[in-house]
Amino acid sequence: MGDRKLEKACGYNLGKLSSRPSPMSNDKIEVFISYSKQDKELRDGLLAHLRILEGEGIITWHDRQILPGTRWDEEIKARLNAADIILLLISADFLNTDYCKEVEIPEALRRHTADEAIVMPVILRQCGWKYTPLASIQAYPEKAKPIKSWSDIDEAYTNVVDGVYLAATEVKKRRSQQQVKQKQIQREQQEQRQAQLDQEAESEQRPTETFEFEVATITEGGLSKKPEVTRTRKRAKCYIEDLGNNIFLDMVAIPGNSFRMGSTESDDEQPVHEVQVAPFFMGRYPITQAQWRVVAGLPKVKIDLEPDPSEFQGSDRPVEQVSWWEAVEFCDRLSNKTNRTYRLPSEAEWEYACRAGTTTPFHFGETITTDLANYRGTDLEFAGKTYPGNYRQGPKGIFREQTTPVGSFQVANAFGLYEMHGNVWEWCADRWHDSYNGAPIDGSAWLTDDENVIRLMRGGSWFNTPSNCRSACRYYSFPDDRYDDIGFRVVCGLT
């Protein structure tokens, strides 16, 4: 069993994007330090003083923190592009270092001019810096007096720390203003989109039918006591898509609304933020092998589809061992057949649909049990750490070691969706981002121009411990990856 699969089982990411900046919450500020190796002693002195700001959420990064085996140039560029404040430690050696002169200084000035970051020249030693483009920017320490010239060097460092704190205050002010502006724009766009969708819904001829289902709510009973499960009956609407060969796809109507997305349980699930989601339809279950087989027989759009890719065979089991590209191809073929636009859900749509109005870790409540979902209910030992088969005060359970037929547990969430926790991970349309900083708030997918970047998955799987099956839990995989615990479900807009 490979490390990659074990990573997914417990959420322990052995190689998780070492070239990407660490996730940061809205309140944290990242400071990038650019310097010459000849100024290492002065750099270390400044770093010692800057550590006092970590309690204020102001985190300093420099190239000595690059992990072994990482492409140092990619790491530096990524950190430079992610930084909120850029400290340029000025000396003659710094100004004459090729990499600083050709890469770091031009990029820092570009971001400063575009108001993407605040650049602070910090004069270490006397040099001709005033004859460079940096002369137009406020320099530190006070009056641009070189740190080496101060009789009390600690006072010089403290003056720089004061400047960094003022810059961080300005960064937070800009963020707040940008967030207000972005929310206003996205709300206006959402209102326009909602009005259009409402009009389309009135005119569209799509027959729906009402179905009944059972919802289970779990009350924690503790490690030695079985949790109490309360069951209620609910109703929802769906339409049924005829795929042919007597195979059907149930698409459940998901009402539009706003919700709080994310959690404080993991850095990459933050910041928790409000998202407005328009109404849509979502598959009642993950796509099954029977449904996959029918659609795989439809005319090709871009790539070939293997009709029986799954490790765990069974027509009513979820299809697995399908890549992100193959899931998209499935949607494209289905769209061509039905004249409706089928696609993968956005990450926001997925979490909204999974929660179904709940704010707890699972739509079941504060915990989960293997009586109601298919996940690893036994402890997992990995990399010297134990990942528990229970969640918080919930019970341990069983480890089935395979997928189960969809609907096996005969319980849904309040929207009428089944298998949202466990069984198989489900591909989403989004590209992976380390946090929700800058994420859309209108329910749309968070995309990038790079088609080959890693993609989002949600829901956990039969192989995962319960923590990774939470409503807010996020994970990623490369778009070409095929595993026996990755599947998907589809969504469809109102038109």
Q: What is the pLDDT of residue 17?
A: 32
414: DSSP letter: T
How far is Cα 239 from Cα 368, in angstroms, rounded to an integer? 30
H/E run at residue 79: helix 72-82
How far is Cα 390 from Cα 145, in angstroms, rounded to an integer? 59
Q: What is the pLDDT of residue 5?
A: 52
325: DSSP letter: H
401: DSSP letter: -
Q: Is the dihedral of CA 411, 413, 419, 422 positive or negative?
A: negative
pTM of the shown model: 0.65
pLDDT digits (tens, 9 = 90+) for 441-473: 999 999 988 877 899 999 999 999 999 999 999
Which domains does the chain carry? 12-175 (3.40.50.10140), 204-492 (3.90.1580.10)
What is the chain's pLDDT, residue by residue, as a tens digit (495 residues)? 344 455 555 554 333 333 333 333 346 899 999 999 999 999 999 999 999 999 889 999 888 887 777 788 888 888 898 899 999 999 999 999 999 989 999 999 999 999 999 999 999 999 999 999 999 999 999 999 999 999 999 999 999 999 999 999 999 998 888 878 876 776 676 566 556 555 554 555 568 899 999 999 998 765 556 778 999 999 999 999 999 999 999 999 999 999 999 999 999 999 999 999 999 999 999 999 999 999 999 999 999 999 999 999 999 999 999 999 999 999 999 999 999 999 999 999 999 999 999 999 999 999 999 999 999 999 999 888 899 999 988 899 999 999 999 999 999 999 999 999 999 999 999 999 999 999 999 999 999 888 778 999 999 999 999 999 999 999 999 999 999 999 999 999 876
Helix (H, G, I), strand (E, B) or coil at 118: strand
How far is Cα 408 from Cα 239, in angstroms, rounded to an integer? 21
How far is Cα 84 from Cα 186, in angstroms, rounded to an integer? 24
Token readout for 216 is: 């289970």
H/E run at residue 111: helix 105-113
pLDDT digits (tens, 9 = 90+) for 207-219: 889 999 999 999 8
Q: What is the pLDDT of residue 52?
A: 92
Nearest to 200 by CA among 275, 282, 278, 284: 278
Which residues does 288 contact at the CB level (< 8 Å), separation at least 6?
315, 316, 317, 318, 319, 406
